[in-house]
Structure formats: C-alpha cells, structure tokens
A and B are shown apart, each in its own frame.
Chain A
C-alpha cells in the first residue's frame, strides 16, 4: 500500500498551478515514476496534483516557423509513432521508441521522462544517500557498474532519460509555468549537476510545471539519431547511449551537437566529439578520433571502466551509420 496522499486532477492548467503553490505537492504526469517512488518510499507527499485531465498539455503539432510543439503529457508511444518526429526529428523518435516497455511508453509522458528521478539502486533502496539528504554516495565505494564516468562529484548517478539527450541535441526548449510566471528552459540547461547541487535533478521549482517542449525548425542538412546499449535488448536503461544532431553540407559536418546518456549525472554534452567532427568529412580517421575523444578525460569508478569501450564503439558505429 502506498503512503497516504490527497489527489487533485484539475481540468485546467491554472487550477493545477494554484494547487502546486502549496508546499510538498508532487506532480503526476503519467504516474509511472511517481507511483514507483512513492511505493519505494523514495519520498512521500501530502498532495498529488495530476496533469492527466488537462487538454492544453496534450498533443503534438507543427509550429508556424517549421518547428514542432510537443505537449508535456504527450506519451512516449505517441512520440515514437509520430510521422513528423520520425521524419524530421529522428533522434527523438529513436529515443522514445527504446524507453522502458510498451506499457510504460503508453503511460509515461515526455515531460515526466525529462524530470524522472534517478535509478541508482542506493537512491531507490533503503539507503539514506547524499541525494536523499544523507551524508554520502554509497555507489562511490560500493556497487557502481551502472554509474557515471563523467561529471561525478559527491554523487555518481547517471541520468536515466533517453529522450533528454535527443531533445538536447536538437535544441529543444521547455516552456515552464508557475502560478505567477512563465519561462523557457533549454533542455540542455534543465538538469542540475551534483557539483552545483547533489540534491536536485532539475532547475524547476516545486511549483513549476513543464507545459510543452518546443523544437526549432530543422536546418537544411540536419540528420539526427539516438541509440543506447543495454544489458538486455528490451526494457532496460542505457549503459551507454549517444544522441547525434549533425548538420551536413555535402559530406562535411558543418555543425554538431552530441549528448551522451548513461555517462553522467546529467545528459552529457560531448564537446570533445563535436570538435573532432566539426568541419570534417566522416572518414575512418575522423571517426576513430571522435571515438577516442568521446572517452577522453573520463573518470571511471571501480566497476564501470567497461563503459569506455562501449562509448567508443557506440560513437564510432553511430557516426558511420549517420554518414550513410
């Protein structure tokens, strides 16, 4: 049985934002992460505010300037099967298609996928770890084969989202509302590294809601992709993943945005890979240099140095695939 809470399911965003103004409320999008966290006592809450009955948060539609608007509660199944996303924002469809299982994709929302809690077994288990308000990260000297190789600092989780690196690579922006204000947060600025604050995952305040994601029009020559490697080839989180958004001019990569999943406590922008391929044709030498660059400066823990080879192989393979 879950811990007790009250539940509100308003029909308008305005009512939801007003309800979140009270302290200790939690947002229910599709509920897959929230109910799991409540079940495992990762946190408790007095009040659950559900966004599931708010029509204005749903839907996927083209914007006037050739971009795309994805409503916050669009499900991962809707995104994975949307023709315009598969065609023009391929990395996002690639990512949505490999999140969890069919049942979870039918229920889970895109904003919830961005804002989900970490999957570290100490964080989810009965350990009062640093991220939950305790003293230390148990993974650092414990079982850390699924943990980070970049960006660890007091806490060594990896960010569990597949869609976040894809959205970040394509320059997506979150529209965020509270009862008193509205603002834009680029997806690549949404997540908080532990060096800034090991006890929060996003820059969002408790009374703020992601209302939609806005993607800019894809530039001519854009190709994008996302692939992750898992322990089993279904229903698993990324051991290593890479989102590519490359703008080609003929064979030459004019610009590149590269984000890794399974690498760091936040979706990890690999400026080293970007630098290795920008202005280059993706020939064998360039791809080899980019693969090495992907893991340059990595700081593996006692149990996860195998990830270096995974990232090298993944980045090389995905660059070959996107070259065509």
Chain B
C-alpha cells in the first residue's frame, strides 16, 4: 500500500512549503503572545457551587478550605495559604522548583490537583524548619553554597529530604539520580550533590533533625 504523505494530504488545501513555513512563524509569535496573555488573565469568576470543600494536612497542620477542582496544590499553597517557599517555575513538571513531599515522596505540586492531595501528608520547605532554625538539609545547602540565585533551592531541598527519607545512605550516583528531577539554572549541581551527601553523613552520625 502506498503511504499517504502529509504533503499529499495538504495538496488539496493549497498549502505550499513557503506558506507553511510562514504560518509556522506566525504561529510561534501567536503562541508566545498567547501564553503571555493567558498567564496574566484574571481567572473568570467562579460560582460558589463549583467550589469543593477539602481538608489538607500541610506541615502537620490541618487546613479546611474551599477550592476549585482546577486549582493545583501549588496554587493553593502559594496563593491561598501564603506558603510561598514552593516556587512556580515551568508549571508543567519540567523544572522541580515546586517539589513538595506527599506522604514522604517528592512530587511536583504544579501537576497535583489540590483536590487530589486530600488525605495525604503534605510537607513543604517551610515544614523542614526546626522551630525557627534551618533543618539539616537546608543548613547543608547554606554551608556548601549549593545555589546562586536560589530560586530552585526550596525544590532542591525538599527533593533531597525525600531522597534521604527513602534512602538515608545514598551513594553519589543515587544522589545524582534522586536529584535528577530538579533543574538548577545557575548550574550549582556539584555543590548540591556535596550538600546532600553532607546532610546524609550528618544523619548517619546522629546529627540530623
């Protein structure tokens, strides 16, 4: 059977290569501006009937609130509960800056609907403080200079915490794999790996949080 190429398919509609490339260019511009206007758009007013009552356990505290089904856990943390440690980066599960622990496992809060987080134990970077002091992973990041701009750091710290809860004595390779879901635009990876290794050593010798 002769295969049908897209060019054959498009022939009837008069699409030329030049015209196609032109439309791709225009589409890219439209995509860029469209994305920007979407990000700034004020959400339409929601009928209270469409809100759902949920109880979320975050850093050991139970919060009862009304949410829209489309709200992500990240949105609720930042915009409703003022827990702004978790950062909004790509908002599509590609950068890791929104990482939180869900029942001790690192997950992306940007890809988790708030309604799906009910009944789970959520831990954000704020929950890793010991009283007013930094937790051991946070301290290790500070001591090893494991950041430059710091935007990805809360997600990195929470990912490291999740790694150490599942594997308290990771090898360097396991640290690199465990931290592979978090991007650092400044490229502080070498120091991040050292910080995580140091935090693991601290727990091994009983100095952990």
Contacts and interface: CB of A to CB of B under 8 A. Distances in A.
Nearest to A41: B38
B112 interface: yes
B13 interface: yes
Nearest to B68: A4
B10 interface: yes
Contact of B5 (A40, A125, A140, A142): A140
Nearest to B44: A4
A127 B27 contact: yes
B99 to A, nearest CB: 6
Contact of A135 (B5, B13, B75, B108): B13
A28 B72 CA distance: 14
A29 to B, nearest CB: 11
Interface stretch (A103-111, A159-167, A182-190, A248-256): A103-111
A107 B108 contact: yes
A52 B20 CA distance: 43
Interface stretch (B90-98, B131-139, B193-201): B90-98
Interface stretch (B121-129, B141-149, B176-184): B176-184
Contacts of B180: 101-102, 234-235
Contacts of B185: none
B113 A135 contact: no
A31 B92 contact: no
A65 interface: no
Interface string B163-205: 1000000000000111011100000000000000000000000
A5 B72 CA distance: 13
Contacts of A2: 70, 72
B92 A39 contact: yes
Given A102-B180, A154-B6, A234-B180, A9 B93 contact: no
Nearest to A234: B180
- Most chain B CB within 10 A, of A39, A52, A154, is at A39
Interface in A1-57: 1-7, 9, 28, 31-32, 35-36, 38-40, 48, 50, 52
A63 to B, nearest CB: 27
B69 A7 contact: yes
Contacts of B182: 101
A135 B112 CA distance: 34
B107 A141 contact: no
A130 B5 CA distance: 12
B9 interface: yes
Q: Is the interface of B mostly helix, strand, loop or mixed?
A: mixed
A40 B92 contact: yes
B52 A7 contact: yes
Interface string B74-113: 0100000000000000011100100100100111101111
A36 B116 contact: no
Contact of A107 (B13, B92, B107, B163): B107
Contacts of A32: 93, 108, 111
Given A1-B70, A35-B113, A154 B9 contact: yes
Contact of B112 (A4, A31, A100): A31
Q: Is the interface of A mostly helix, strand, loop or mixed?
A: loop
B206 interface: no
Nearest to A236: B180
Contacts of B69: 4-7, 48
A192 B115 CA distance: 33
A215 to B, nearest CB: 25
Nearest to A232: B180
A141 B70 contact: no
A122 B17 CA distance: 16
A260 interface: no
Interface of B: 3-7, 9-10, 13, 15, 17, 20, 24, 27, 30-31, 34, 41, 43-44, 46, 50, 52, 68-70, 72, 75, 91-93, 96, 99, 102, 105-108, 110-113, 115-116, 159, 162-163, 176-178, 180-182
Interface of A: 1-7, 9, 28, 31-32, 35-36, 38-40, 48, 50, 52, 77, 100-104, 106-107, 125-127, 130, 135-138, 140-142, 152-154, 156, 195, 234-235
Q: Which 10 pairs, one residue from A and one from B, show the smallest C-beta to C-beta distance?
A: A101-B181, A7-B69, A234-B180, A126-B31, A2-B70, A106-B105, A140-B6, A103-B181, A136-B6, A137-B6
Given A102-B106, A106-B106, A127-B27, 19 more contacts: A31-B111, A32-B111, A35-B72, A35-B111, A101-B96, A102-B162, A103-B107, A103-B108, A104-B93, A106-B107, A107-B102, A107-B107, A126-B27, A135-B10, A138-B20, A140-B5, A141-B7, A154-B6, A235-B181
6 contacts: A7-B52, A7-B69, A31-B112, A103-B181, A136-B15, A234-B176
